[in-house]
Amino acid sequence: MKQIEGGVCAAKGFYANGVHCGIRRGREKRDLALIYSEYPASAAAVYTKNLVKGAPLAVTKANIADGSARAVICNSGNANTCNSNGIEIAEQTCALLAEKLGIEPSDVIVASTGVIGQPLDIAPIAAGIPPLCEGLVPDGSGLAAEAIMTTDTKIKSAAFAFDIGGTECRIGGIAKGSGMIHPNMATMLVFVTADCAITPQMLQKALSEDVKDSFNMISVDGDTSTNDMVSVMANGAAGNPVIDAEGADFDAFCEALAAVTKTLCKAIAADGEGATKLLECTVTGASDADSARAVAKSVVCSSLLKAAMFGADANWGRVLCAVGYSGVETDVTKIGVSFASAAGGIEVCRNGAGVDFSEEKAKEILSQGEIKINVSLGDGDASATAWGCDLTYDYVKINGDYRT
């Protein structure tokens, strides 16, 4: 498996575009994205667990109940959530796009992101769909990735080539996510495309398992959003034997999917609103995988720990505190903690107690842009990794006037 360029257009048969249709203020920001497969594709998705859900999620879930899709359309600037006509707007969007592309409305995955509770007019979307479709290009992933951004400061994209039964396949994805990141499935929008042949049932199985160790393991601010979804389309254009059961081919696909999703996870966490540092917490020695996940997520979610990382303060007690309220039963006298970055590594806690260390060296390590927090429990052999970011003054500034 090797990392390649191309995002959602890396896989054969996929085209993309992004335009400004008028939902967002100013013409300099693209706000309508399209991903299109020239072949019918197996489709799968997972959705936010928030009880308040954006209308596009309900429409998408109904559309891909048959396990197939041909296109993804997503607007930014308005979340289409808590609107009396939200379902109607989402369905109209699918119908307008389907008419232009010559496909069925039920072949469309529809998504929205932006402010919650604001009226959404179909007019700009209707006006934007013709140029959106006419501008589809085989290298348009970056245009689509830009069009789904809200407070994101960077385009988030990944793609990999991998082998299934002697056939080269490709998989790629784009994502948006910067604030309201605290998944209970996923708290962002992620669109993945692949050119391998796989049944909808196996595609859903792969995605549902993957999110346990990818998108469910990131947090920026502890808020689970209302519109978040991860969708995958696989169109079979690579020509591999259809993956319809577990085995070596399915494992190869899952490995490639994980490569894409974890790359996007790190990009989302690193671009958290106001963030200056990516935090990666790896827990080892847990009694089971669920315990490892719970501890790792608890650490990256700690506001106190996030603030300490912003200040490059090696306050390891905040790590132990987060372990302690994670809900995992563990022997605190066995816990070890160390910090690492491009500037080196340093042990700060052993057997649940502090050890002598250089504060100067620790500050140098924690002043880097990517910080690794390593926690060992001594309870078993399970491990897990979670991603987050530091908590800065700018987070409050960004969210203090987000709507206005």
Question: 3-class secondary structure for 263-308?
Answer: HHHHHHHHCCCCCCCEEEEEEEEECCHHHHHHHHHHHHHCHHHHHH
Buried b (16+ CB within 10 A) or exposed e, 307-337: ebbbebebbbebbbbbbeebebebeeeebbb
Q: What is the pLDDT of residue 381?
A: 97
Residue 186 has pLDDT above 90, yes or no: no
Does residue 343 share a domain with residue 250?
Answer: no
Does residue 287 share a domain with residue 264?
Answer: no
**Band of pLDDT at residue 281, cut at 50, 70 and 90:** very high
CATH code, domain with 118: 3.60.70.12
- Catalytic amino acids? 187
Report the mean per-residue pLDDT for the chain: 93
- Axis crossing angle, helix 86-101 with helix 122-134, rounded to the nearest 10: 20
**Band of pLDDT at residue 163, cut at 50, 70 and 90:** very high
Decide which of 100 and 394 is more confident.
100
Q: How many domains does the chain contain in total?
A: 2
What range defines the domain where residue 27 resides?
Answer: 2-270
* Single pTM value for the model: 0.88
Residue 187 has pLDDT above 50, yes or no: no
Q: Identify whether the C-beta of residue 401 lies closer than 8 Å to the C-beta of residue 301.
A: no
For residues 249-264, give the mean pLDDT: 98
The number of residues in the chain equals 404
Percent of the chain with pLDDT over 70: 95
**Band of pLDDT at residue 150, cut at 50, 70 and 90:** confident
For residues 59-76, give the mean pLDDT: 97
Decide which of 391 and 50 is more confident.
391
Residue type, 18: G
Does residue 302 share a domain with residue 265?
Answer: no
Residue 374 has pLDDT above 90, yes or no: yes
Does residue 87 share a domain with residue 131?
Answer: yes
